[in-house]
Structure 1
Amino acid sequence: MIGANQIIEKKKEFLLPSSHRNHFYANPPQIVKGSMQFLYDDQGKEYLDFFAGVSVMNCGHCNPEILEKTIQQMQTLQHTTIIYLTEEMVQLAEKLASVLPGDLRRSFFCCTGSEANEGAMLLARLYTGKNEFIALENGLHGRTYLTMSATGIPMWRADPDLSPKVHFAKTVWDSNTDLEQAAKASIESIKEIIQARGANHIAALIAEPIQGNGGIITPPAWYFKELKQLLEDNGILLIIDEVQTGFARTGKMFAIEHYDVVPDIMTVAKALGNGMPISAFCTTDEVAKAFTKPSASTLGGNPVSSATALAVLDYIEKYELCETAAHLGEMLKEGLIALQAKYSLIKDVRGIGLMLGAELVKEDGQPASEETDVILEKLKDRGIIVGKNGLNRNVLAFQPPLVITEANVQTLLHELDEVLAELQ
């Protein structure tokens, strides 16, 4: 093993600057092994993972039950492309239809969340015959041209010449106002865009049910119902991006189910493959009728990824991971709220299930971005990995594998308590 320092040097020499500058920690470890909720570095140190590769490893690292199906498929048939008939992709499409919300039942498989969102936006244009979109500030939808254009986080908008066809509405969170007021302002902002642009120009609104990279921004219970009605009244589709929130993370199979709303199009990725690259955009029979021209993803829905995804869905059901995420998420949230009462640095605790965020703000009201980095470093040194997000990178992100235990949650809370005490 070459070690962390050599990896950093090789990244600098052979990768683009956009890649080699992106790693957490002043002293990052070289991760060499994973096992369920644990990671291990090249020195043999164990880390309790509370980030799951940004909500990817919902079923745990190197899960033996899932890997068995993956390896079996790799030894049998890896790839032919969808021009030829293979069973795994259609079996996955059928299984996915059984867990999708409402009347969503048709899927197009690809490899990444960006691809899925790009496909969803294309589908909306094809169905409506309109070509503009509404997106929310603070949202993140991908790194392709159109999905980057729909991304409202400045640091992820790398292209200086993005599409003018995407119009940004206020998000449902403002640190200077309460959640209800911010959500109402968001709806009003969307109404203003529809009025200004004309409903006859807008194909769809795209939104995450919980904005992950935006800072675990979690709308109030009424928000998406009111939003969906507004869009329906104006002939505008709703695209829900479940790339980070899907597959039991929030205590339901999909986060939008907490809001009792069925979108017109929904995208999934990340946890569906539990480390294998697979994504999809999913829709109704009616909307699907619009996509008739030939289209294919060379690797999308390949036998190995499809077999893995089938095993993932079976594992979630078999081990009741939705219920686990709901229970442990409540336990973790209560613990974080208790720490908030103890440490003024924690301004807000938000999220659902095992997708939680703790926003850190200094006494003068400024984002505690540096303190966030210190906390991440100290937790890492204590053998715990958590994430960070938010526009100012001052939100601690807790998105662990859903196979964690109550003891793991208590360990995290205990170590975080001690780290916060050190900072205070």
Structure 2
Amino acid sequence: MSEHRSGSSADRESNASVVSTYDDHVMPIWKSLNVPVKRASGCTLEDVDGNEYLDVFSGISVTNAGHGNEAVVDAAKEQLDEFVHGCSYVHPNEPVADLAELIADVTPGELQKSFFCNSGTEAVEGAIKLARKYTGSKEVIALEMGFHGRTLGSLALTGNKSYKQGMAPTLNDVAHATPPYGYRCPRCDGDRCDASCADELERVIGSHTSGDLAAVVVEPVMGEAGIVVPPTGWLERVQEIAHDHGALLIADEVQTGYGRTGELFASEHFDVEPDIMTQAKGIANGLPLGAFTASAEIADAFESGDHLSTFGGNPVACAAALATIDELQDGIVDNTREQGEWLESELAALEDEYAVVGQTRGLGLMWGVELVEPGTTGPQNVAPRPDAELASAVADHLRDESSVVMGVGGYYKNVMRFQPPLTISRDQLERAVDGLRTALDAIA
């Protein structure tokens, strides 16, 4: 053991020193956007060297109400002065009670009771436990290319080898159905995808399960798959099939929830009332908090001791969440819809302007720009080959030449991700789109 800590925060006065300390002391699992953040405000990041960037990724769709939102920060500070921890499942307290009541009010349908945890992954795992307890069944179906977390249980639901390599998921009773990814679906013939694709679920139930189905888990808009938006009627049909087999529909709204798609929850776009809904990311604008919410009938299947979390429902995070929801409902979701409509038309124009832009798709301020190799034949002989190298180069150009931080994702790592703080202005969005055009002109 060393005699003293090397490289204290006072010594780290450059981006390079922060990165060096990460290399020395943080496990090598972080995927860097190469912007060591010292402070952030609104949609702006400042690195340790004093450079400023426009953030259109918001920490993977987390700071929905804007970095450093004053109302959220003040709410957290006020709660810090009262008490920080009492374990919400041992000592009932007002922030948790108020947040649970508010979530019951703002979520779709009859969702009434919430369990609070620390992350989206935990919310998904808890939701699966609740579905199993309520139905008495064990099997679960998720979607290929879907993402639900990285712990062993949630990883079994995640339909992407790149997240699973070297691991052994412990949930064996999981099957996967085809996602509503019309652009790369041979059945849908390109962009023409309709709700009939949901009938694929019937085939999976018949061929990959024993008939002991507890739940079907889906993201209403698939984030890590590349911002995949299902066609009208698809999610409703999935729920209908699940119910026909005695199973529950779990809507994973970890990434889509809290205003991201122009509604408070993405399920509302599709007129679907989930049986269980998972939440995290934007719920507390950056403070660690997750939740899953169910109807009273389903929630009451849990008995004392069935589930618990020492830090779940931390009162400081819950106070921040209360302020976050108030801020979102006080104009921020309206801004999301307004700016999202403009962004939709601007990104659609890119499909005509650039051969390397295969498709743009999204809702609200959750948009993906899929980059491809024109003239090639990609997976399943439907759309051109994904161009992950181009996407990575475009992201680097955006950061280095336009000072715009944009995420890259998708199943094939070829999708530029517009997921900014929902407070973003038109001028800032224009700057991001102009930067994307400049990068495509320079590289493609």
In the TM superposition, residue 327 of structure 1 has moved relative to its aligned partner by 1.0
2:301 paired with 1:290: yes
Percent identity over the alignment? Answer: 36
Tell me the distance in 2 between the aligned counterparts of 1:191 and 1:322: 36
Q: Which of the residues 345, 355, 366 maps onto 2:385?
A: 366
Q: Which of the residues 416, 419, 423 maps onto 2:439?
A: 419
Tell me the distance in 1 between the aligned counterparts of 2:318 and 2:193: 43
Q: Deviations over 1:203-232 (max 9, x none)?
A: 000010011011001100110111111111
Tell me the distance in 1 between the aligned counterparts of 2:428 and 2:21: 35
Structure 1 stretch 286-295 or stretch 34-43: which is displaced more? 286-295
Tell me the distance in 1 between the aligned counterparts of 2:57 and 2:19: 21
In the TM superposition, residue 245 of structure 1 has moved relative to its aligned partner by 0.4
In the TM superposition, residue 197 of structure 1 has moved relative to its aligned partner by 4.6
2:327 paired with 1:315: yes
Tell me the distance in 1 between the aligned counterparts of 2:13 and 2:200: 52
Counterpart position of 2:422: 402
In the TM superposition, residue 288 of structure 1 has moved relative to its aligned partner by 1.0
Counterpart position of 1:257: 268
Tell me the distance in 2 between the aligned counterparts of 1:4 and 1:158: 31
In the TM superposition, residue 180 of structure 1 has moved relative to its aligned partner by 4.1
2:64 paired with 1:58: yes
In the TM superposition, residue 3 of structure 1 has moved relative to its aligned partner by 2.7
Counterpart position of 2:5: none
Tell me the distance in 2 between the aligned counterparts of 1:160 and 1:410: 42
Q: Which of the residues 343, 347, 362 maps onto 2:358?
A: 347
Please give the residue correspondences for 1:378-389 in structure 2 after superposition, counting only pairs within 5 Å: 378-381=397-400, 382-389=402-409
Contact 1:210 1:218 in 2 (8 A): yes
Structure 1 stretch 157-166 or stretch 396-405: which is displaced more? 157-166
Structure 1 stretch 156-165 or stretch 80-89: which is displaced more? 156-165
Please give the residue correspondences for 1:37-76 in structure 2 after superposition, counting only pairs within 5 Å: 37-76=43-82
Secondary structure of the residue aligned to 1:361 is: strand
In the TM superposition, residue 138 of structure 1 has moved relative to its aligned partner by 0.6
Tell me the distance in 2 between the aligned counterparts of 1:150 and 1:65: 36
| Paired residue type of 1:146 | G
Gaps of 5+ in 2: 1-11, 377-383
Gaps of 5+ in 1: none
Aligned residues: 417
Structure 1 stretch 293-302 or stretch 383-392: which is displaced more? 293-302
Structure 1 stretch 368-377 or stretch 167-176: which is displaced more? 167-176
Q: Which of the residues 109, 113, 116 maps onto 2:116?
A: 109
Please give the residue correspondences for 1:17-166 in structure 2 after superposition, counting only pairs within 5 Å: 17-19=28-30, 22-24=31-33, 28-82=34-88, 83-158=90-165, 160-162=167-169, 163-166=171-174
Q: Which of the residues 285, 309, 313 maps onto 1:301?
A: 313
In the TM superposition, residue 2 of structure 1 has moved relative to its aligned partner by 4.3
Q: Which of the residues 234, 239, 247 maps onto 1:228?
A: 239
| Paired residue type of 1:300 | G
Tell me the distance in 2 between the aligned counterparts of 1:260 and 1:327: 21
Tell me the distance in 2 between the aligned counterparts of 1:159 and 1:267: 27
Contact 1:179 1:219 in 2 (8 A): no
In the TM superposition, residue 65 of structure 1 has moved relative to its aligned partner by 1.7
| Paired residue type of 2:49 | Q
| Paired residue type of 1:160 | M
Secondary structure of the residue aligned to 1:347 is: strand
Contact 1:172 1:179 in 2 (8 A): no
Tell me the distance in 2 between the aligned counterparts of 1:156 and 1:94: 35
2:16 paired with 1:9: no
Q: TM-score scaled by structure 2?
A: 0.91
Tell me the distance in 2 between the aligned counterparts of 1:223 and 1:160: 32
Q: Deviations over 1:222-268 (max 9, x none)?
A: 10111111111111110000000001111100001100000110000
Contact 2:133 2:302 in 1 (8 A): yes
Tell me the distance in 1 between the aligned counterparts of 2:302 and 2:211: 20
| Paired residue type of 2:390 | E
| Paired residue type of 1:283 | A
In the TM superposition, residue 16 of structure 1 has moved relative to its aligned partner by 2.5
Q: CA RMSD in A?
A: 1.5
Tell me the distance in 1 between the aligned counterparts of 2:19 and 2:190: 42
Q: Deviations over 1:26-71 (max 9, x none)?
A: xx23211100111111222211110010110000111112111111
